[in-house]
Chains A and B, each alone.
Chain A
């Protein structure tokens, strides 16, 4: 090879993650993702309302299998995801560093924390029932048991602000919801979708069934309202709904979600002040659960 021939980088085509597959956007369109200095990083698919609808279909189809697996098995699958994340931590660190404009060491620390958080939630799968359910004392010869069950398909507006939002924040909103047996459709942060789209590659190569996590990049104002009004979505997490007004604003989304009386998790009062490195509570785990209570006669 001639000395003068410089090697050309092989650029990565980022794609959506829907139903365990990597489709391009139905629109065929992409948008430019840049770093904080405006330098072009990559093209991300511009997901549309139809992509969102397809993702909800895939998520719905996955509910039965995922919620039906034993909690122990779900924990094993999620732990496997953490193993896969561990193997690609340098790649994620590089993506997080450019997405959030921070140094390599800080980014690596954020990725490690993200992996640890995933493991933490993986451990919760078979322990949620103990804290959210239990045997209730009743005035009669009955066993009275309350059991938490997953709500179904949850729409998530991924974090768009706060230290560590691009990967650690994303994992902090996805992992607790799927740990309890829900499936999710995520509207990714519009300005930092690359770590999230790479997370899709990790999920595809772990044992997570297709459709449990679906990732749509694009304009939040297109995707979030579709999720909010879609009648087959059972819960809505508005963490990243930071727009002050317009169709993507939290109030508008909550209003259209009210039509179906679904559970809505409101965004933080000041989303830009969020620090995703702070250790989480069980709040997010318990947000999208329905309690089923069963009466059973004693001694029969």
Chain B
């Protein structure tokens, strides 16, 4: 997104200006956040997953979900040809039905950004690039910043960075904060605009819900435009309770500062049913304002095929099969 940084580092008002002034003040703030009621959170997430969405509402939800997908390929074996094929699919997800909406973005490794950018020329589809030594994030800061700058220079519209979980878990919050602000700065283009910054927490490695809440606030204070659950590369990826917790953090952050932040669950969301549960959660927690690709995304690859099969079922009345969608 080529807008000026909406969530500039340290711009947060609402009495939060000095939170990151020192390691001690940041820790005091993050540890002062209310503890998470784990049982209540999981029960709430489970109860929001039981809604039955049918007929026209289902058709709307399927199209909305397709338009929110960050169609992702993050494999060591990615080739230029595979990225181009994926871009073609992003432009025209269902060749048998031109009314199917386009996805929000393509998500690739930095070296594939130029390929994706060229393949998506003339569309509004964004190119997102993971960066900062994705997925482990275990590299020196200059290397991470060079990774980001490289992707931005290649034309990436959005940058998905990973936080340093080692620093976060050992309590060095300020170093995580400063790393995010440095990456945000590296997202700046020569014309002064910024690439959209998504911050990945890898919630599967953060151990507790309290840590997820702290990481959410930390990233939002440091200037994240989006907060994202996971890389999709570890055993536990996006789960409904974790996503609900992040949605609540985003809601509270907006209430306090007036700044709207987006959320992106990623990894493990494979079926239409899963996707609809997340949409219900967004609607119930944040409301209409977030129900657009600008503020909510799914990081997924196989989800798109399931959505397309469900869409075909709704339009033709017959159950579709994997022979009628692409093999990625």
- CB-defined interface of A219-243 with B at 8 Å, one 1/0 digit per residue? 0000000100111110000000000
B317 and A232 contact, CB distance less than 8 A: no
B51 at the A interface (CB under 8 A): no
A53 at the B interface (CB under 8 A): yes
B60 at the A interface (CB under 8 A): no
Within 8 A of B (CB), among A245-262: 256, 259
Q: Please indicate the chain B residues that have their CB under 8 angstroms from the CB of A56 in the complex.
A: 319, 321
Q: Please indicate the chain A residues that have their CB under 8 angstroms from the CB of B324 in the complex.
A: 231
B328 at the A interface (CB under 8 A): no
Q: What CA separation (Å) do A38 and B322 show in the bound complex?
A: 44
Q: Please indicate the chain A residues that have their CB under 8 angstroms from the CB of B322 in the complex.
A: 60, 232
Q: What CA separation (Å) do A256 and B320 show in the bound complex?
A: 13
Instruction: Please give 17 more A-B residue pairs, beta carbons under 8 A apart, in addition to A53-B319, A232-B319.
Output: A56-B319, A56-B321, A60-B321, A226-B319, A229-B317, A229-B318, A230-B318, A230-B319, A231-B318, A231-B319, A231-B321, A231-B323, A231-B324, A232-B320, A232-B321, A232-B323, A233-B321
B319 and A259 contact, CB distance less than 8 A: no
Q: What CA separation (Å) do A249 and B318 show in the bound complex?
A: 18
Within 8 A of B (CB), among A158-182: none
Q: How far is the CB of A225 from chain B (nearest CB, A)?
A: 10
Q: Please indicate the chain A residues that have their CB under 8 angstroms from the CB of B318 in the complex.
A: 229-231, 256, 259
Please give me the residue from chain B that is nearest to A227 by CB atom. Answer: B319
Please report whether the interface of chain B is mostly helix, strand, loop or mixed according to DSSP. loop
Within 8 A of A (CB), among B303-324: 317-324
Q: What CA separation (Å) do A56 and B319 show in the bound complex?
A: 10
Number of residues from B at the complex interface, CB < 8 A: 8
Q: What CA separation (Å) do A185 and B220 show in the bound complex?
A: 51
Scoring A56, A226, A231, A256 by chain B CB atoms within 10 A of each residue's CB, the highest score goes to: A231
Please give me the residue from chain A that is nearest to B312 by CB atom. Answer: A231
Q: What CA separation (Å) do A232 and B319 show in the bound complex?
A: 8
Q: Please indicate the chain B residues that have their CB under 8 angstroms from the CB of A232 in the complex.
A: 319-323
Please give me the residue from chain B that is nearest to A233 by CB atom. Answer: B321
- CB-defined interface of B135-169 with A at 8 Å, one 1/0 digit per residue? 00000000000000000000000000000000000
Please give me the residue from chain A that is nearest to B313 by CB atom. Answer: A53
Scoring A60, A232, A259 by chain B CB atoms within 10 A of each residue's CB, the highest score goes to: A232
Q: How far is the CB of B276 from chain A (nearest CB, A)?
A: 15
- CB-defined interface of B52-64 with A at 8 Å, one 1/0 digit per residue? 0000000000000
Q: Please indicate the chain B residues that have their CB under 8 angstroms from the CB of A60 in the complex.
A: 321-322
Q: Please indicate the chain B residues that have their CB under 8 angstroms from the CB of A233 in the complex.
A: 321
Please give me the residue from chain A that is nearest to B321 by CB atom. Answer: A232
Q: Please indicate the chain B residues that have their CB under 8 angstroms from the CB of A230 in the complex.
A: 318-319, 321
Please give me the residue from chain B that is nearest to A231 by CB atom. Answer: B321
Q: Please indicate the chain A residues that have their CB under 8 angstroms from the CB of B323 in the complex.
A: 231-232
Q: Please indicate the chain B residues that have their CB under 8 angstroms from the CB of A259 in the complex.
A: 318
Q: Please indicate the chain A residues that have their CB under 8 angstroms from the CB of B321 in the complex.
A: 56, 60, 230-233
Q: What CA separation (Å) do A60 and B324 show in the bound complex?
A: 14
Q: How far is the CB of B65 from chain A (nearest CB, A)?
A: 19
Q: What CA separation (Å) do A60 and B309 show in the bound complex?
A: 15
Q: How far is the CB of A264 from chain B (nearest CB, A)?
A: 16
Please give me the residue from chain A that is nearest to B324 by CB atom. Answer: A231
Q: What CA separation (Å) do A231 and B319 show in the bound complex?
A: 6
Q: How far is the CB of B85 from chain A (nearest CB, A)?
A: 23
Q: Please indicate the chain B residues that have their CB under 8 angstroms from the CB of A53 in the complex.
A: 319
22 A-B contact pairs sorted by A residue (CB < 8 Å): A53-B319, A56-B319, A60-B322, A226-B319, A229-B317, A229-B318, A229-B319, A230-B318, A230-B319, A230-B321, A231-B319, A231-B320, A231-B321, A231-B323, A232-B319, A232-B320, A232-B321, A232-B322, A232-B323, A233-B321, A256-B318, A259-B318
Q: Please indicate the chain A residues that have their CB under 8 angstroms from the CB of B320 in the complex.
A: 231-232
Q: How far is the CB of A24 from chain B (nearest CB, A)?
A: 17
Q: What CA separation (Å) do A142 and B34 show in the bound complex?
A: 77
- CB-defined interface of A273-292 with B at 8 Å, one 1/0 digit per residue? 00000000000000000000
Q: How far is the CB of A58 from chain B (nearest CB, A)?
A: 13
Q: How far is the CB of A229 from chain B (nearest CB, A)?
A: 4
Q: How far is the CB of B259 from chain A (nearest CB, A)?
A: 43
Q: Please indicate the chain B residues that have their CB under 8 angstroms from the CB of A231 in the complex.
A: 318-321, 323-324
Scoring B317, B318, B323 by chain A CB atoms within 10 A of each residue's CB, the highest score goes to: B318
Q: Please indicate the chain B residues that have their CB under 8 angstroms from the CB of A256 in the complex.
A: 318
Within 8 A of A (CB), among B7-47: none
Q: What CA separation (Å) do A230 and B319 show in the bound complex?
A: 5
Q: What CA separation (Å) do A130 and B173 show in the bound complex?
A: 71
Please give me the residue from chain A that is nearest to B318 by CB atom. Answer: A229
Within 8 A of B (CB), among A8-62: 53, 56, 60
Please give me the residue from chain A that is nearest to B317 by CB atom. Answer: A229
Q: What CA separation (Å) do A259 and B324 show in the bound complex?
A: 13
**Sorted from nearest, which 9 A-B pairs have the closest CB atoms?**
A232-B321, A229-B318, A230-B319, A231-B321, A231-B320, A53-B319, A231-B318, A231-B324, A231-B319
Q: What CA separation (Å) do A137 and B320 show in the bound complex?
A: 41
